[in-house]
Amino acid sequence: MTATFCEYKPGLENIPATKSSISHVNGQEGILEYRGIRIEELASKSSFLETAYLLIWDSLPSAIQLKEFETDILYHRRIKYRIRDMMKCFPETGHPMDALQTSAAALGLFYSRRALDDPEYIRKAVVRILAKIPTMVAAFHQMRRGNDAIQPNDDLDYATNFLYMLTERKPHPIAARIFDVCLMLHAEHTINASTFSAMVTASTLTDPYAVIASAVGTLAGPLHGGANEEVLLMLEEIGSKDNVLPYIENRIANKQKIMGFGHRVYKVKDPRAAILQQLAEQLFEETGHDPYYDIALELEKVVEGKLGAKGIYANVDFYSGLVYRKLGIPADLFTPIFAIARVAGWLAHWKEQLAVNRIFRPTQVYTGDHNKPYVSIKERT
């Protein structure tokens, strides 16, 4: 079969890598839909687990289906003691994303049976991964502080339980609800880098734990999921509203990217950023103002003024860190929390890939030499 040669596009920009019905982004109008439902609707009316069910099984669950799903996940929240023992050997200074990638891959050691054509195997893997990833994130955080992991509390819902395992305190219901909405906002976003990584790994028919480990490693990068942590460091470095303009002018003059801005698809403000901004303001009303929010508002205004014409606006990572910080979450856990949410999207694409699988194997534009002679080491200069 003769290959139809399409033009090489760096970063595969605008090149479709699959056909998918899981989510849709309209980058010109700032629209995000999960299985056809607008993110604003889900953020105000749904829950993270209901949204995860929708993404993975392509329908909103009935009340019975949702209860069964929530109960199944609650039952699988605990992790093997050997994984906890392994995590106790991790250096306290290690980044939580490296700890998560390692422990996610380790799950595959305990659930190594691969039966990708068995719907019950798929369902069980979905439940185990959704249930155990938050426990692993919270466990490493406790251990790096010299504590034992806090066991999941079966009386608490998904979001409340995570914050409890992280802080040993039951959060205010408003804080738990805001955190649950943050998880929904970060759950899925078409073929982003970490989802593409998950799809490529899935296409080799390896186990789902290896798929998730691949995706976690990809999400960790500062150009992708790691930007939320960088945004807070940037706000702290700027320190005051007066410093915003000189800081931004300096970054632009040095052709340095401004964290939390720009997007391969959105050329207007990311709709998730707008919702996260509302959540931040709601939190500040309840728990007191955050002066960094004033710096963030000034920064967004200055960047829009200077780069808006290039389609560079605030993305999902710009305000998320301010919300998480107000919830008492350390900055280096912002990206692991992004992973807790995006696991739903990665699993949805894993299932979708398996249904019509063909191993990913792109081609290249070769720029090297041909027929070069081998030069013996004696003759090399």
**Position 224 contacts ligand SDX (CB under 6 A):** yes
Using CB under 6 A as the binding rule, whether residue 378 contacts ligand SDX is answered as no
CB-nearer residue toward ligand SDX: 122 or 347:
347
Which listed residue (35, 144, 189, 325) binds ligand SDX by CB under 6 A?
Answer: 189
- For ligand SDX, the closer CB: 30 or 171: 30
Contact present, 32 and 23 (Cβ < 8 Å): yes
| Percent composition of the chain: helix, strand, coil (DSSP 3-state, to 5) | 60, 5, 35
**H or E segment at 31?**
strand 31-34
Largest CA distance in the chain: 76
Q: Indicate the residue among 73 and 215 with the shorter CB distance to ligand SDX.
A: 215
Contact between residue 297 and residue 198 where contact means Cβ atoms under 8 Å apart: no
The minimum distance between CB 194 and ligand SDX, in angstroms, equals 7
What string marks each residue from 302 to 321 as x (binds ligand SDX by CB under 6 A) or -? Answer: -----x--x-x--xxx----
* SS3 category, 148: coil
289 carries an active-site annotation: no
Where does this chain touch ligand SDX (CB under 6 A) — which range of 67-75, 104-112, 147-155, 254-262? 254-262
CB of 345 to ligand SDX, least distance (A): 8
DSSP 25: E
Find the part of the chain contacting ligand SDX (CB under 6 A) among 80-88, 257-265, 286-294, 326-334. 257-265
Helix (H) or strand (E) holding 309: none
Rounded CA-CA distance 62/289 in Å is: 39
Sign of CA dihedral 35, 121, 179, 98: negative
Confirm or reject binding of residue 178 to ligand SDX (CB under 6 A): no
User: Does 72 participate in catalysis according to the annotation?
Assistant: no
- Interaxial angle between packed helices 291-307 and 244-253, expressed in degrees from 0 to 180 and rounded to the nearest 10: 40
* Alpha-carbon dihedral sign for residues 35, 37, 38, 39: negative
| The only residue of 258, 276, 279, 337 in contact with ligand SDX, by rule CB under 6 A | 258
Q: Which of 127, 131, 181, 259 binds ligand SDX (CB under 6 A)?
A: 259
- Which one of 85-93, 168-176, 220-228, 278-286 is the stretch in contact with ligand SDX (CB under 6 A)? 220-228
Give the separation between CA 229 and CA 333, rounded to whole angstroms.
Answer: 8
Kindly list the catalytic residues: 263, 317
Residues that bind ligand SDX (CB under 6 A): 11, 189, 192, 223-224, 227, 257-264, 307, 310, 312, 315-317
